[in-house]
């Protein structure tokens, strides 16, 4: 594998460089990457003020590493200087921080004794840095190393932007001082005479949210910056976000920020960065898509080889090989997908592929095993992911008649959902609320547990508040078919029948390639099978029972029966 080195640089401070770097790092970890951060802003270190990076606070780092080299004339072992940071356990990647150093008395003394010019004049600068890079690459095997550089035209800024990276992200404000300074630094980097000069990516930040009558000024500043720097800034800027500027935190990991422009802008920056990295998994993923789209067997073979040698133990890479194997038949796609799943059960694509495969050959017990091994990860799973897997497992167990287990799963899903919706929103989403309540009730009913009348009534009221109208016909058909059980269980046979007729009507507009989730079977069926099962449900109601033989309570007109 090849580590990609990126430096975040800004000519002036206060543009949110450290904030951007930390959040891009968090996004990379969220996407499953191994990431190392280097806090090279030695005079004004900032990364360890992040609450999330507290494991690296007051620990030895860059300054001590350099000092030890200058003292002993032997580059020290890197490990004690780099510290693993614990992010939420459900994130698939890993993060380490090499802090600027312990902020004690010795720190300032050591810092003042660091002489970059001497190091480079002695001819030791380049091998020292290369040794440093290689040590990090071998010890931590990161996909990305992000360097937080010092500002201004300084020696250490020069080392950060030319000696280490393959890409420099240049963040700058739109005022003249920032733009001019950034242009000067860009020129220095380009003219440093490197064999492989780093790529430059310019990001304007923070972009203020101005009232319409002031937009003209913003546009003219944008244009001036584009002209001075000679680049197109249309898709690379980060908007100003008042609350973000007040605290150091990883807002990209906070669901409350998820849809904000701030997170979108950081995601885009992260995407651009991964696009620059032509040896990274993201680029290889894009290439795999290309090969599959164009049926390009030559490309597929080259990619498989690259993935095998570069990323032998990464779930993403093994699964890409599985996808490529479906194209060129060089290996067994199923075996590779199983291998990918074992490497990281939390990586969803192999799981989805394997489920589809096992479903096709009717090996449902294998799907149950997959789900169980994901659920066994416990706290390493986010609650959303856990609910998704539980849903898959519950549907499967319903479809094969393991009602008791299914009822337990649906009860847990309901519990988690009510906890989550209780946190931010009284009502939650009415649709998912109804679906969760229905599944819990229906699985309990089939498991021969007592379902209180109140619960069915609640489901009906949710359904009537949010009638399945105007949605996709497949969804309308499914919901109407399902809800007939609730009506039947409160003794309202005529409404139950009405629902089934609505389901039959909705299914008329479904084309014969679509599938519909059938409540009787708890799986997706085609249009004709759906029609036939709905007719069967109707016929049962005429006999005063549900299709599975459960008797309807005695009807008392439109009023539900008293229990």
Partner 1 sequence: MNAPKPTKSLAGTACRECGEGHFEFIQIDHIEKISNDNPVTVPGVWVNRCDHCGETVFPAISVKYIQSSVADQTEPLTGQELERIREELGVDRQDEMSEILGLGTKTYHKWESGAQFPTRSMSYYIRMLAEFPEAFEWLRARSWRGRNRLKTAEKSPLVIGAELMFPVLAANPGRLNTVMTSRINYAGVLFAKV
Residues at the site binding partner 1, with contacts judged by CB under 8 A = 73-75, 78, 116-117, 120-128, 130-131, 134-135, 138, 153-155, 157-159, 162-163, 185, 188, 191-195
Smallest distance, partner 1 to C-beta of residue 11, A: 11
Question: Of 153 and 376, which has the nearer Cβ to partner 1?
Answer: 153
SS (H, E, C) 512-540: CCCEEEECCCCEEEEHHHHHHHHHHHHHH
Smallest distance, partner 1 to C-beta of residue 467, A: 53
Question: Of 51 and 118, which has the nearer Cβ to partner 1?
Answer: 118
User: For 451, how many CA atoms within 13 A lie in the half-sphere containing its CB?
Assistant: 26
Q: Does residue 6 contact residue 116 with C-beta atoms inside 8 Å?
A: no
Question: Of 60 and 78, which has the nearer Cβ to partner 1?
Answer: 78
Helix (H) or strand (E) holding 337: helix 333-343
Question: Of 130 and 365, which has the nearer Cβ to partner 1?
Answer: 130
Q: b or e along 536-561 (b: 16 or more beta carbons within 10 Å of the residue's beta carbon)?
A: ebbebbeeeebbeeeebbebeeeebe
Smallest distance, partner 1 to C-beta of residue 114, A: 12
Smallest distance, partner 1 to C-beta of residue 168, A: 13
Smallest distance, partner 1 to C-beta of residue 134, A: 5
Smallest distance, partner 1 to C-beta of residue 70, A: 11
Q: Does residue 47 contact residue 56 with C-beta atoms inside 8 Å?
A: yes
Helix (H) or strand (E) holding 486: helix 473-489
Cα–Cα distance between 164 and 161 in angstroms, integer? 7
Smallest distance, partner 1 to C-beta of residue 127, A: 5
Question: Of 212 and 298, which has the nearer Cβ to partner 1?
Answer: 298
The bridge status of strand 167-172 relative to strand 83-85 is: unpaired
51: burial class by Cβ within 10 Å (0-12, 13-18, 19+)? exposed
Question: Of 132 and 438, which has the nearer Cβ to partner 1?
Answer: 132
Question: Of 188 and 326, which has the nearer Cβ to partner 1?
Answer: 188
Smallest distance, partner 1 to C-beta of residue 100, A: 19
- What is the DSSP code (8-state) at residue 554? P
3-state secondary structure (DSSP) of residue 219:
helix
Smallest distance, partner 1 to C-beta of residue 128, A: 7
Q: Which residues pair with 6 in a beta bridge?
A: 146, 167
Smallest distance, partner 1 to C-beta of residue 36, A: 15
In 344-382, alpha helices (H): 348-360, 364-375
Question: Of 87 and 183, which has the nearer Cβ to partner 1?
Answer: 183
Residue 358 Cα distances to 226, 338, 365, angstroms: 54, 11, 9
Question: Of 133 and 359, which has the nearer Cβ to partner 1?
Answer: 133
Residue 118 Cα distances to 28, 70, 76, 113, 125, angstroms: 36, 11, 19, 11, 8
3-state secondary structure (DSSP) of residue 281:
helix
Q: Which of 310, 317, 314, 316 is nearest to 1 (CA)?
A: 310
Question: Of 188 and 268, which has the nearer Cβ to partner 1?
Answer: 188
């Amino acid at each position: 594998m090849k580590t990609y080195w990126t430096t975040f640089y800004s000519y002036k401070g206060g543009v949110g460089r450290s904030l951007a770097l930390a959040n891009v790092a968090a996004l990379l970890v969220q996407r499953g990457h191994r990431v190392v951060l280097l806090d090279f802003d030695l005079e004004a270190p900032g990364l360890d003020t992040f609450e999330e990076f507290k494991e690296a606070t007051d620990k030895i780092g860059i300054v001590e590493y350099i000092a030890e080299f200058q003292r002993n004339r032997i580059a020290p072992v890197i490990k004690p200087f780099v510290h693993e940071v614990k992010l939420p356990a459900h994130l698939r990647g890993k993060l380490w921080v090499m802090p600027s150093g312990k902020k004690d008395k010795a720190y300032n003394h050591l810092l003042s004794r660091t002489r970059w010019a001497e190091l480079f004049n002695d001819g030791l600068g380049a091998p020292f840095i290369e040794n440093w890079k290689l040590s990090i690459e071998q010890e931590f095997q990161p996909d990305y190393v992000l360097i937080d550089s010092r500002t201004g035209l300084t020696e250490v800024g020069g080392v950060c932007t030319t000696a280490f990276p393959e890409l420099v992200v240049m963040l700058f404000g739109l005022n003249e001082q920032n733009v001019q300074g950034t242009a000067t630094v860009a020129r220095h980097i380009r003219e440093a005479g490197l064999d492989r000069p780093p790529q430059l990516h310019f990001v304007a930040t923070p972009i203020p949210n101005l009232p319409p009558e002031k937009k003209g000024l913003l546009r003219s500043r944008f244009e001036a910056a584009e002209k001075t720097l000679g680049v197109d800034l249309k898709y690379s800027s980060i908007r100003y976000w008042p609350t973000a500027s007040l605290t150091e935190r990883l807002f990209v990991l906070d669901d409350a920020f998820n849809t904000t422009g701030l997170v979108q802008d950081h995601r885009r920056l992260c995407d651009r960065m991964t696009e620059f990295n032509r040896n990274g998994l993201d680029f290889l993923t894009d290439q795999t898509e290309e090969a599959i789209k164009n049926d390009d067997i030559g490309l597929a073979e080259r990619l498989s080889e690259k993935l095998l040698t570069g990323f032998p133990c990464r779930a993403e890479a093994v699964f890409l090989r599985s996808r490529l194997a479906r194209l060129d038949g060089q290996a067994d796609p199923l075996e590779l997908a199983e291998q990918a799943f074992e490497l990281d059960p939390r990586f969803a694509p192999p799981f989805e592929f394997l489920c589809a495969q096992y479903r096709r050959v009717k090996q449902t017990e294998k799907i149950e095993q997959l789900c169980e091994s994901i659920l066994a990860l416990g706290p390493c799973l986010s609650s959303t992911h856990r609910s998704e897997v539980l849903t898959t497992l519950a549907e499967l167990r319903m479809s094969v008649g393991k009602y008791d287990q299914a009822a337990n799963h649906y009860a847990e899903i309901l519990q988690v959902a009510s906890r989550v919706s209780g946190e931010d929103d009284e009502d939650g989403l009415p649709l998912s609320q109804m679906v969760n309540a229905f599944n819990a009730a229906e699985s309990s009913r089939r498991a021969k547990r007592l379902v209180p009348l109140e619960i069915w009534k609640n489901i009906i009221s949710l359904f009537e508040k949010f009638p399945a109208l105007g949605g996709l016909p497949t969804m309308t058909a499914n919901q109407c078919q399902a809800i007939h059980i609730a009506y039947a269980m409160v003794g309202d046979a005529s409404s139950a029948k009405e629902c089934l007729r609505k389901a039959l009507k909705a299914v008329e507009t479904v084309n014969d390639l679509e599938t519909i989730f059938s409540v009787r079977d708890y799986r997706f069926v085609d249009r004709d099978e759906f029609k036939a099962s709905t007719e069967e449900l109707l016929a049962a109601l005429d006999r005063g029972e549900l299709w599975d033989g459960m008797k309807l309570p005695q009807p008392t007109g439109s009023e539900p029966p008293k229990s």
